[in-house]
């Protein structure tokens, strides 16, 4: 009998040129995420955030004239969520501390480790860290707020991709969008651990709003769409394939009249 082979009737969706362009440092970072057991959707999330960090870093350099370390931005962004592989859902605020320890143990630079530890929610202010008694390994810090350009770039790369790509917030025009989106993420650990309701005017909420206003000029919308949209769409596909609905929940008004657990 003749060996009949079926012709494929669909076009492949992968973009192998992205892989072919990966640096050795990026390959090493992806290998670490896989070794730690980070799920595929988080790896795709991390790859597009590394791409966003490089774009933002380029804009920072061209708009301000400062020189930033591109590899620190790229790999700090790539590994920003590596600590999620070692936690349970109620311990999300600690994923930055754990991720920084993993990066140090794997031989990445202290600058990269600091970018990982200081990225969450535009940087966690002292008042929020104190409420949750969060561990801090960055020498000299009593908060988890990014200070160097590299730290800020990594934090904003995560913020803009999360807000725009996963919450569908218009970060360029919706000033309070970050609060509507991220309030629940910030409030749940406090409610579970301390039985407290996070005030709507808490400094951490203000921090999220103001950081977006400060940094969004380094992510021009046209360039964002041109360079990052395909990676965001892939991230969304693998997130939904993992059973996680996109867009993520956000309140439609601010402050919300009723919290979802009331």
Residue 258 belongs to a domain: no
pLDDT of 4 reads: 53
**Residue 124 — φ and ψ, nearest 5°?**
-90, 125
Residues 171, 164: contact at Cβ < 8 Å?
yes
Residue 92 belongs to a domain: yes
Band the pLDDT of 141: cuts 50, 70, 90: confident
* 9 or 194, greater pLDDT: 194
Residue 5 belongs to a domain: no
Residue 73 belongs to a domain: yes
pLDDT of 17 reads: 73
Residue 10 belongs to a domain: no
Residues 84, 35: contact at Cβ < 8 Å?
no
Q: How far apart are CA 49 and CA 185, in angstroms?
A: 19
If one counts the domains in the chain, the total is 1
Q: How far apart are CA 182 and CA 173, in angstroms?
A: 17
Q: How far apart are CA 60 and CA 73, in angstroms?
A: 12
Q: How far apart are CA 203 and CA 198, in angstroms?
A: 10
Mean pLDDT of the chain: 93
Residue 221 belongs to a domain: yes
pLDDT of 19 reads: 76
Residue 145 belongs to a domain: yes
Peptide bond into 247 cis (omega under 30): yes
Residue 11 belongs to a domain: no
pLDDT of 6 reads: 57
Burial status of residue 203 (CB atoms within 10 A of its CB: 0-12, 13-18, 19 or more)? middle
User: Quick one: CA dihedral 251, 253, 254, 260, positive or negative?
Assistant: negative
| Per-residue CA distances from 68 to 45, 144, 187, 255 (Å) | 23, 20, 34, 37
pLDDT exceeds cutoff 70 at 121: yes
* 132 or 4, greater pLDDT: 132
Residue 126 domain boundaries:
24-241
pLDDT of 92 reads: 84
Q: What is the CATH number of the domain that holds 121?
A: 1.10.3210
Q: How far apart are CA 2 and CA 9, in angstroms?
A: 21
């Amino acid at each position: 009998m003749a060996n009949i082979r079926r012709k494929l009737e669909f076009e492949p969706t992968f973009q192998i040129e992205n892989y072919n362009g990966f640096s050795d440092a990026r390959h090493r970072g992806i290998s670490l995420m896989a070794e730690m057991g980070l799920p595929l959707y988080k790896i795709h999330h991390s790859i597009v955030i590394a791409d966003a960090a490089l774009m933002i870093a380029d804009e920072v350099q061209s708009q301000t004239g400062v020189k930033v370390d591109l590899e620190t931005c790229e790999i700090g962004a790539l590994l920003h969520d590596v600590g999620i592989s070692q936690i349970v859902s109620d311990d999300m605020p600690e994923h930055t501390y754990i991720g920084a320890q993993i990066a140090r143990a794997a031989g990445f630079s202290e600058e990269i480790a600091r970018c990982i530890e200081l990225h969450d929610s535009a940087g966690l202010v002292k008042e929020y860290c104190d409420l949750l008694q969060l561990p801090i390994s960055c020498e000299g810090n009593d908060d988890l707020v990014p200070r160097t350009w590299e730290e800020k770039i990594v934090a904003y790369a995560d913020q803009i991709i999360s807000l725009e790509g996963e919450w569908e917030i218009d970060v360029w025009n919706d000033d309070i969008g970050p609060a509507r989106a991220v309030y629940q993420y910030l409030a749940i650990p406090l409610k579970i651990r301390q039985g407290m309701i996070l005030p709507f005017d808490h400094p951490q909420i203000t921090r999220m709003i103001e950081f977006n206003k400060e940094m969004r000029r380094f992510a021009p919308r046209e360039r964002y769409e041109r360079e990052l949209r395909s990676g965001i769409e892939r991230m969304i596909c693998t997130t939904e394939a993992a059973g996680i609905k996109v867009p993520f929940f956000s309140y439609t008004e601010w402050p919300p009249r009723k919290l979802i657990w009331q």
